[in-house]
Amino acid sequence: MFLFSGSPSEEKAGVMQFQTLLKKVAKGLVVRTDSRKVQPGECFVAMPGTKVRGIDFIPGALDNGAKYIVAPEAARDLVAPVVEKRAHAVYHENPAAALGELAKAFFHVLDRDLKLVGVTGTNGKTTTTYLIEHLLKSAGLKVGVIGTVNYRWPGFEMNASRTTPDCWMIHELLFNMKKADVDVAVMEVSSHALDQYRVAGLTFDAAVMTNLTQDHLDYHHDMETYFQAKRKLFTSYLKSGKAGVFNYNDSFARRLLAECEGGIGYGIDDTAIVRQEVGDKAMVQGTILEMNGRGMRIKTSYKGKSWEIESPLVGGFNAMNLLAAQAVGLQLGLNCKDMRRMKEFHGVPGRLERVRNDKGLSVFVDYAHTPDALENVQRTLKQLDFDRLITVFGCGGDRDRTKRPIMAASVAKYADVAVLTSDNPRSEAPEAIMDDARPGLKGARSIMENPDRRTAIRMAVNEMTPRDAVLIAGKGHEDYQVLGDKTIHFSDVEEAAKAIEERQ
């Protein structure tokens, strides 16, 4: 896809220049987006940024020997005098999209028989990718995953730098997966990644929308803009003839189900009302037959067939994740018998993860860091047979401030004891973040506070009885905490285990 603006003659010249560059990249010309890493003869793409401009780093790339510069067409008048006679300038309406095309040419990922599955949504992405991975592996396929916890495939694993890495790295990861004979790659696709064209150059064989609830409004500003970013996965990157998979119990996902031809819905219980809104779409319909502290049993129906699955996972939100994974499995050729393998999947690190101990204490760590996710996980634990729920929570610094009191209100609603602390304060003072959240705790039954997360976890564990449950929310699998300009090792699971061991 070539994006270019200008007169017809300028457009033709621009397209020809870019096509020539693509051919050179396909033959091995190295592309960089960090001017400091440019080597003589390489190509530098001046990427747009939220805080800096890529064009400001062109002089450094030239000093390091860049032979080709990809710059935004809108900045031609600024760039041309700088590049003149030192390198070949190629102008493109969107350098971020151009990078995807260059990465596609360099790695030839789509020339290989590798299926791609994308999962987007506010909550449930990570668990859904793990479940899809489990189903496909159980069916004998080799699977790779790019997501919040790590990037992995058989024989390789590395901690994730972010949920969806940068465009060039995605293509490189997929290239290496295919070299390892991976059959299917499953990827969490964040709204930031979609807005910033990090998946440019890719097309997906299946794509899932789990839900949309308040998050990242510091970046997207409003829910509609947030939704439109998610929508791109289905309108710009889904292969022609492939069906998107949408949670019909979520209003935003239901909008996409109605819009996307051939879309498939999944959800809990009756679809009659949903069909009035989305029309005659195929539905993977689930009914929870049984749920307790040991897991759940679900009846699933699709195109006239029904089957039951058992899972050790608990909670209505996990029922939705199980249905999403089944819907994707069906689209990739699995059958209802394959779905019984769900019984063998025991969970995801940091997603309602039980902290193992020999004292019989029920302490859970969960990644819930949005109002909706926090409400869901607390509701799940309240439905189980515990005397009290003690919830440890904080809010991230340098992120959406409006959700802080909303999260606190959720804790006040469900927790018998609310323990307010810090999460990742980043550049903000932990006490100031807590001040933002505190109004939402009005009406809480009991409140404890400490800005030091380690101390707060110990307070909660010491407060509990064997009949209580402690939920430590917000960081999940993360093994770090960001304090100002420092990043320290910090694991909720490790700290909870120590607190339990030291408990008198």
Whether pLDDT at 212 is above 50: yes
Q: Looking at the structure, do residues 99 and 114 belong to the same domain, yes or no?
A: no
Task: Give the pLDDT of residue 216.
Answer: 72
Other C-beta atoms closer than 10 Å to the C-beta of 138 total 18
Domain end call among 105, 136, 163: 105
Whether pLDDT at 227 is above 90: yes
Q: What is the DSSP annotation of 183-250? A: SEEEEE--HHHHHTTTTTT--BSEEEE----S--HHHH-SHHHHHHHHHHHHHTSBPTTPPEEEETTS
Other C-beta atoms closer than 10 Å to the C-beta of 137 total 15
Which band of pLDDT confidence, cut at 50, 70 and 90, is reported for residue 316? confident
Whether pLDDT at 59 is above 50: yes
What CATH number should be reported for the domain holding residue 22? Answer: 3.40.1390.10
Q: Looking at the structure, do residues 393 and 477 belong to the same domain, yes or no?
A: yes
Q: Looking at the structure, do residues 295 and 148 belong to the same domain, yes or no?
A: yes
Q: Which of these, 282, 299, 277, 281, lies nearest to 290 by C-alpha position? A: 299
Task: Give the pLDDT of residue 209.
Answer: 97
Model confidence over 234-243: pLDDT tens digits?
999 999 999 8
- 3-state secondary structure at position 449: strand
Task: Give the pLDDT of residue 9.
Answer: 58
Domain end call among 37, 71, 105: 105
Task: Give the pLDDT of residue 346.
Answer: 84
> Are residues 100 and 201 in contact, defined by beta-carbon separation less than 8 angstroms?
yes
Whether pLDDT at 153 is above 80: yes
- Please check whether residue 117 lies inside any domain of the structure: yes
Q: What is the mean pLDDT of residues 390-396?
A: 97
Q: What is the mean pLDDT of residues 192-204?
A: 95
Q: Looking at the structure, do residues 480 and 366 belong to the same domain, yes or no?
A: yes
Which band of pLDDT confidence, cut at 50, 70 and 90, is reported for residue 215? confident
**Number of domains composing the chain:** 3
Q: Looking at the structure, do residues 208 and 140 belong to the same domain, yes or no?
A: yes
Q: Looking at the structure, do residues 327 and 379 belong to the same domain, yes or no?
A: no
> Are residues 195 and 229 in contact, defined by beta-carbon separation less than 8 angstroms?
yes
Task: Give the pLDDT of residue 110.
Answer: 67
Q: Which of these, 404, 392, 399, 405, lies nearest to 424 by C-alpha position? A: 399
Alpha carbon distances (Å) from 39 to 36, 272, 372: 9, 61, 47
Alpha carbon distances (Å) from 73 to 48, 79, 499: 12, 9, 57
Task: Give the pLDDT of residue 269.
Answer: 81
What CATH number should be reported for the domain holding residue 195? Answer: 3.40.1190.10
Task: Report the share of the chain in percent with pLDDT over 90.
Answer: 82
Find residue 282's DSSP bridge partners.
264
Task: Tell me the pLDDT of the chain averaged across its residues.
Answer: 93
- Please check whether residue 416 lies inside any domain of the structure: yes
CA atoms within 13 A on the CB side of 354: 16
Query: Torsions phi, psi of 437, nearest 5?
Result: -80, -35
What CATH number should be reported for the domain holding residue 498? Answer: 3.90.190.20
Domain end call among 105, 131, 161: 105
Model confidence over 5-56: pLDDT tens digits?
455 655 667 688 999 999 999 999 999 999 999 999 999 999 988 788 999 9
> Are residues 442 and 414 in contact, defined by beta-carbon separation less than 8 angstroms?
no
Q: Looking at the structure, do residues 136 and 239 belong to the same domain, yes or no?
A: yes
- Please check whether residue 425 lies inside any domain of the structure: yes
pTM of the model: 0.82
Lowest-confidence segment of 269-278, 375-384, 458-467 by average pLDDT: 269-278
- Please check whether residue 154 lies inside any domain of the structure: yes
Domain that holds residue 54: 8-105
Q: What is the mean pLDDT of residues 278-283?
A: 90
Q: Looking at the structure, do residues 31 and 87 belong to the same domain, yes or no?
A: yes
- The C-alpha atoms of residue 131 and residue 110 are separated, in whole angstroms, by 25
Which band of pLDDT confidence, cut at 50, 70 and 90, is reported for residue 2? very low
Model confidence over 122-150: pLDDT tens digits?
989 999 999 999 999 999 999 999 999 99
Task: Give the pLDDT of residue 10.
Answer: 59
Whether pLDDT at 388 is above 80: yes
Q: Looking at the structure, do residues 391 and 469 belong to the same domain, yes or no?
A: yes
- Please check whether residue 2 lies inside any domain of the structure: no
Model confidence over 402-455: pLDDT tens digits?
999 999 999 999 999 999 999 999 999 999 999 999 999 999 999 999 999 999
Q: Looking at the structure, do residues 383 and 397 belong to the same domain, yes or no?
A: yes
Task: Give the pLDDT of residue 304.
Answer: 93
Task: Give the pLDDT of residue 208.
Answer: 98
- Please check whether residue 1 lies inside any domain of the structure: no
β 295-302/282-292 pair status: antiparallel
Q: What is the mean pLDDT of residues 472-486?
A: 95
Q: Looking at the structure, do residues 212 and 327 belong to the same domain, yes or no?
A: yes
Task: Report the share of the chain in percent with pLDDT over 70.
Answer: 97
Whether pLDDT at 339 is above 50: yes
